[in-house]
Amino acid sequence: QLQHQHQHQQIGGNKLKLKFELVPVPKSMLHGLVMRPGVDTWRVADFNYHQNQYANGNGTGNYGNDNTMHGTSNESDEQHGNNTSDDEDEERPAQLQWYDSYQSAVDHGMEGALPSMWPPTEKESANNIDVDDDEAAAFSLSLDHCLRLCPQDQDTGGFFVALIKRIK
What would the pLDDT profile of 130-139 be if each residue is shown by its tens digit?
A: 444 555 555 5
Banded pLDDT at 5 (limits 50, 70, 90): very low
Whether residue 146 sits in one domain with residue 129:
yes
Residue 59 is predicted with a pLDDT of: 42
Q: Which of 45, 40, 104 is nearest to 70 (CA)?
A: 45
Whether residue 100 sits in one domain with residue 58:
yes
Whether residue 19 sits in one domain with residue 73:
no
Interior/surface letters 38-61, b for 16+ CB within 10 angstroms, e for the rest: bebeebbbbebeeeebbebeebbb
Whether residue 103 sits in one domain with residue 82:
yes
Whether residue 112 sits in one domain with residue 48:
yes
Whether residue 57 sits in one domain with residue 28:
no
Pair 92, 51: CB distance under 8 Å: yes
32 or 65, greater pLDDT: 32
91 or 106, greater pLDDT: 106
Whether residue 77 sits in one domain with residue 48:
yes
Residue type, 75: E
Quote the percentage of the chain above a pLDDT of 90. 1
Whether residue 49 sits in one domain with residue 66:
yes
Mean pLDDT, rounded, of the chain: 63
Domain count, the chain: 2
The 10s digit of each residue's pLDDT in 25-60 is: 788 887 777 776 666 677 788 887 554 444 444 444
Q: Which of 104-113, 114-123, 155-164 has the lowest mean pLDDT?
A: 155-164
Pair 2, 138: CB distance under 8 Å: no
Q: Averaged over 95-118, what is the pLDDT?
A: 86
Q: Averaged over 102-120, what is the pLDDT?
A: 85
Residue 143 belongs to domain spanning:
4-40+119-166
* Cα(137)–Cα(125) distance, integer angstroms: 6
Which residue among 116, 131, 150 closes a domain? 116
Provide the whole-model pTM: 0.43
Pair 52, 155: CB distance under 8 Å: no
